[in-house]
Structure 1
């Protein structure tokens, strides 16, 4: 499972809800998940909007996503 999906699951929201709340197109999230894109390849603007929508400091968001990515890749 992609880190974005794991984060949404943790926060109890869908990618669609995250999209609406953050202002990031849902297709951006879909492409990241479908292509299994690494977190390092995400645009800073997308990460900043996600952090604001989830009311998380940007550093905490990145840390969570990288932790999820590491966990997913070790399976």
Structure 2
């Protein structure tokens, strides 16, 4: 899974960092979230989904790796 935060949409509500502290960090200057790493380990994937669902600005997007599928799937919640 790859995760991204659209910086133009993020308003620094910090919910993602509270839900998935191993995935998201907050910028010291503006408080906006950013992924610690673009690739998310398998054990943290549900936290990414929960964080994306909880984001009031819908700034979190993720792409699930599907080895059996010919094309990748992008998701926005």
Q: TM-score range by the shorter chain?
A: 0.3 to 0.5
- Structure with more strand by fraction: 2
- Structure with more helix by fraction: 1
Structure index of larger Rg:
2
Greater RCO, CA 8 A, separation 6+: 1
User: If the length of structure 2 is used for normalisation, what is the TM-score?
Assistant: 0.36
